[in-house]
C-alpha cells in the first residue's frame, strides 16, 4: 500500500479538500473512501475519526504545531495536515508518540521520497510529544475569547458573537460541549416497529454500539459507536431515519393528521417528508418541494424504503424555487394547505458538532445573507397556509437572526400568531443547535 493510500494519507487529502469553500466533509470523505473501496472496515473507520477529529480541533492542533515548527507560516498544506493528524492522534486518541510519528512519517514519505518532509514531520511531532500537555493546560486558561478560539477551535468572529449574546460562561459551555462528537440520533417509524424492538434489532445490526432511549421521547434512539447507520438494513427498510433529536421536533409540532393536505416546503432528501407521512398514518396528501432537482429525484429511494407508494397517500414531488412565480402557479393546484413545514436553508451553524468543517467555511456575513433569504421564504410559505392553518418554521442554527428574529418580524406584521417556539443548544440540550416555531394563520 502506498503511504498516501494509508488511512493517514487519505485523511490528509480529505482534509485538504475540506478546506475548499463549500466542501462538505461527509461528501469528500465518502468520495475518497469510494476510491479506496479495498480498504478494510477498521482502516475506513480510522480515516473518518482522523478527518472529523482534526476539523473539530484544528486551531488547537495548530497551536501545538506552530509552537514546535521553526517556520510555521511556511508549512505547505499537506505537510500541515499530516502534522495536525499526528498531533491529534497523540493528544486526543492517546496514541504513543512513537506510533503517531511513524504513521505521519510514512505519509510524509509518499509526498517527498527524498525525505525532507519526513524529517520535518519527525522534528515537529517529536517536539509536540514532549510539550503538548503543558501547552494544552495553558490553552484552557486566559480570556474567554482566547479559550474558545484556541482550545475549542471556534473561529474568533463566532466566539465573540457567542460571548456577547450568551455571556462568557454560557459561551464557554457551548465551546466545551462542541469538543466531542455528538451521538447519532435516529427516528424510529413507530407505525412499523415498536421502539424496544427497533432497539433490539439495531443492537444486533451494530454489535458494540451503545443505544440509549431518550427520556420523554417515544420515537428516538441515540447511538454511539454504531458506524455508518445510513447503510444498514434497518435504514434500507425505512424502519429508522438518521435525524438529530431537535430536528425530529418540527414535524411533531406541526402534528399533521390523516387526510390533511400538507406542504413540505423545503423537502430536500425528504427525511421530514417521511416523518410527516408516518405521523399522518400514510393517509392524505403531501406536496414536497425543493429547488434542487437531484434531491427530489433521490426521493425515489425514500418512496421505496419508506413504503410511501400506498393507496391512501398522495405524494407529489415538485422541483421548484418557492420564491418564483412559476412555482407559485404550480403549487396553486394544491394550495392552500392545512399545514406547512418550512425547514429553511441556513448557515448550518447549529451543526458544528456533526459537521465540524462548517466553522471554518462560514463568515459573519453569511448569517445576514441566510437570514434575508429565510425571511423571503417564510413570507412566501405563509401565503400558502389556509386561514386557520398552521406552519412550523425550522432551522438548523441557534443564531437568533435565523430564528426568533425572523419570526418576530412576521408576527409583527399581523395576521399570524406564535403559539410555540424553542431554541435547542449543544450546551443546554446536548443536541444540535436548532430553532423551531409553530405559527397559526388567522
Only one of the segments 20-28, 268-276, 353-361, 420-428 lies at the binding site for ligand SAM (rule: CB under 6 A); that segment is 268-276
Residue ranges of alpha helices (H) inside 148-270 are 156-166, 168-177, 195-205, 233-236, 249-254
According to DSSP, residue 151 is labeled I
Nearer to ligand SAM, 224 or 291 (CB): 291
Give the binding range for ligand SAM (CB under 6 A) out of 31-39, 175-183, 225-233, 263-271. 263-271
d(CA 275, CA 281): 10
- Asked whether the beta carbons of 69 and 75 are under 8 A apart, the reply is yes
Would you report the helix, strand and coil content of the chain in percent, each value rounded to 5?
Answer: 55, 15, 30
Of residues 284 through 343, those in contact with ligand SAM by CB under 6 A are 289-292, 295, 321-323, 343
- In the complex with ligand SAM, the residue whose CB is nearer, 224 or 295, is 295
Options 267, 339, 392, 436; binder of ligand SAM; rule CB under 6 A: 267
In 3D space, the residue among 347, 356, 350 whose CA is nearest the CA of residue 15 turns out to be 356
Closest residue by Cα to residue 441 from 340, 335, 324: 340
- Using CB under 6 A as the binding rule, the residues of this chain from 48 to 77 that contact ligand SAM are none
Name the grid cell of 72: 510555521
Q: What span, in angstroms and rounded, lies between the C-alpha atoms of 272 and 256?
A: 12
> Considering only 47-55, 123-131, 261-269, 278-286, which stretch makes contact with ligand SAM by CB under 6 A?
261-269
Minimum CB separation of residue 13 from ligand SAM in Å reads 28
Number of other CB atoms surrounding residue 258 within 10 Å: 12
Compare residues 203 and 328 and give the one whose CB is closer to ligand SAM.
Answer: 328
**Which stretch of DSSP H or E encloses residue 314?**
strand 313-319
| Opening angle at CA 343, ends 342 and 347, nearest 5 | 135
Q: How far is the CB of 58 from ligand SAM (least distance, A)?
A: 25
Closest to ligand SAM by CB, 5 vs 321, is 321
268 counts as binding ligand SAM under rule CB under 6 A: yes
Least Cβ distance, residue 329 to ligand SAM (angstroms) = 14
Between 90 and 438, whose beta carbon lies closer to ligand SAM?
A: 438
Q: How far apart are CA 160 and CA 383, in angstroms?
A: 37
In the bound complex, what is the minimum distance in angstroms from residue 55's beta carbon to ligand SAM? 21
C-alpha span between 296 and 434 (Å, rounded): 24
The two beta strands, 184-188 and 261-264, are unpaired
From the CB of 269, what's the least distance to ligand SAM, in Å? 5
Q: What is the nearest approach in angstroms of ligand SAM to the Cβ of residue 67?
A: 40
- For position 19 contacting ligand SAM by CB under 6 A, the verdict is no
**Could you give phi then psi for residue 267, rounded to 5 degrees?**
-80, -25
Sequence-separated (6 or more) residues with CB below 8 Å from residue 164: none
Q: To the nearest whole angstrom, how small is the minimum distance from the Cβ of residue 249 to ligand SAM?
A: 12
Residue 321 Cβ vs ligand SAM, minimum distance, rounded to whole Å: 4
Of 237 and 292, the one with the shorter C-beta distance to ligand SAM is: 292
Q: Which three cell numbers stand for residue 293?
A: 432537482
Is 272 a residue that touches ligand SAM (CB under 6 A)? yes
**Distance (Å, rounded) from C-alpha 402 to C-alpha 399?**
6
Per CB under 6 A, contacts with ligand SAM among 343-372 are 343, 345
Which residue, 193 or 289, is less far from ligand SAM as judged by CB?
289
Q: At its nearest, how many Å lie between ligand SAM and the CB of residue 373? A: 7
The piece of 39-47, 142-150, 260-268, 418-426 that touches ligand SAM (CB under 6 A) is: 260-268
For the bound state, the minimum distance from the C-beta of residue 306 to ligand SAM, rounded and expressed in Å, comes to: 12
Of the two residues 139 and 407, which places its CB atom closer to ligand SAM in the complex?
A: 407
Nearer to ligand SAM, 75 or 246 (CB): 246
Residue spans of beta strands (DSSP E) within 38-126: none
**Residue 222 corresponds to which cell in the numbers above?**
441515540
CA distance 158 to 145: 10
Residue 287 vs 289, nearer CB to ligand SAM: 289
Sheet of strand 416-424, all strands in order from the earlier edge strand to the far edge: 313-319, 284-290, 261-264, 337-343, 385-395, 434-441, 416-424
Does residue 351 contact residue 246 with C-beta atoms inside 8 Å? no
269 touches ligand SAM by CB under 6 A:
yes
Site membership for ligand SAM, residue 378 (CB under 6 A): no
Residue with Cβ nearer ligand SAM (124 or 346):
346
Binding site for ligand SAM (CB under 6 A): 266-272, 289-292, 295, 321-323, 343, 345
Amino acid at each position: 500500500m502506498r503511504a498516501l493510500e494509508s488511512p493517514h494519507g487519505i485523511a490528509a487529502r480529505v482534509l485538504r479538500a475540506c478546506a475548499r469553500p463549500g466542501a462538505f466533509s461527509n461528501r469528500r470523505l465518502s468520495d475518497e473512501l469510494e476510491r479506496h473501496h479495498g480498504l478494510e472496515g477498521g482502516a475506513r473507520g480510522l480515516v473518518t475519526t482522523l478527518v472529523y477529529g482534526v476539523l473539530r480541533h484544528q486551531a488547537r492542533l495548530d497551536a501545538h504545531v506552530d509552537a514546535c515548527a521553526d517556520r510555521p507560516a511556511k508549512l505547505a498544506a499537506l505537510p500541515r495536515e499530516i502534522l495536525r493528524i499526528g498531533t491529534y492522534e497523540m493528544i486526543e486518541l492517546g496514541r504513543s508518540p512513537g506510533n503517531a510519528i511513524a504513521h505521519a512519517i510514512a505519509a510524509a514519505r509518499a509526498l517527498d521520497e527524498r525525505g525532507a518532509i519526513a524529517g520535518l514531520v519527525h522534528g515537529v511531532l517529536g517536539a509536540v510529544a514532549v510539550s503538548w500537555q503543558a501547552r494544552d493546560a495553558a490553552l484552557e486558561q486566559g480570556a474567554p475569547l482566547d479559550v474558545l478560539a484556541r482550545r475549542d477551535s471556534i473561529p474568533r468572529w463566532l466566539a465573540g458573537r457567542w460571548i456577547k449574546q450568551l455571556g462568557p460562561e454560557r459561551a464557554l459551555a457551548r465551546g466545551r460541549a462542541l469538543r466531542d462528537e455528538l451521538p447519532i440520533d435516529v427516528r424510529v417509524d413507530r407505525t412499523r416497529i415498536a421502539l424496544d424492538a427497533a432497539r433490539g434489532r439495531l443492537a444486533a445490526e451494530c454489535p458494540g454500539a451503545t443505544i440509549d432511549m431518550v427520556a420523554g421521547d417515544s420515537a428516538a434512539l441515540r447511538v454511539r459507536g454504531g458506524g455508518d447507520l445510513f447503510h444498514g438494513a434497518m435504514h434500507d427498510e425505512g424502519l429508522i431515519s438518521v435525524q438529530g433529536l431537535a430536528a425530529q421536533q418540527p414535524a411533531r409540532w406541526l402534528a399533521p393528521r390523516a387526510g390533511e393536505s400538507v406542504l413540505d416546503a423545503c423537502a430536500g432528501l425528504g427525511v421530514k417528508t417521511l416523518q410527516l407521512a408516518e405521523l399522518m398514518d400514510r393517509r392524505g396528501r403531501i406536496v414536497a418541494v425543493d429547488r434542487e432537482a437531484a434531491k427530489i429525484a433521490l426521493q425515489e429511494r425514500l418512496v421505496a424504503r419508506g413504503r410511501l407508494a400506498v393507496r391512501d397517500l398522495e405524494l407529489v414531488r415538485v422541483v421548484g424555487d418557492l420564491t418564483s412565480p412559476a412555482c407559485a402557479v404550480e403549487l396553486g393546484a394544491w394550495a392552500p394547505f392545512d399545514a406547512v413545514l418550512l425547514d429553511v436553508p441556513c448557515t448550518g451553524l447549529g451543526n458544528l458538532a456533526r459537521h465540524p468543517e462548517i466553522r471554518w467555511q462560514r463568515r459573519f456575513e453569511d448569517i445576514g445573507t441566510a437570514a434575508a433569504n429565510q425571511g423571503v421564504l417564510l413570507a412566501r410559505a405563509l401565503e400558502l397556509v389556509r386561514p386557520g392553518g398552521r406552519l412550523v418554521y425550522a432551522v438548523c442554527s441557534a443564531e437568533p437572526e435565523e430564528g426568533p428574529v425572523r419570526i418576530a418580524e412576521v408576527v409583527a406584521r399581523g395576521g399570524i400568531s406564535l403559539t410555540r417556539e424553542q431554541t435547542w443548544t449543544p450546551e443546554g440540550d446536548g443536541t444540535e443547535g436548532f430553532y423551531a416555531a409553530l405559527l397559526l394563520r388567522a
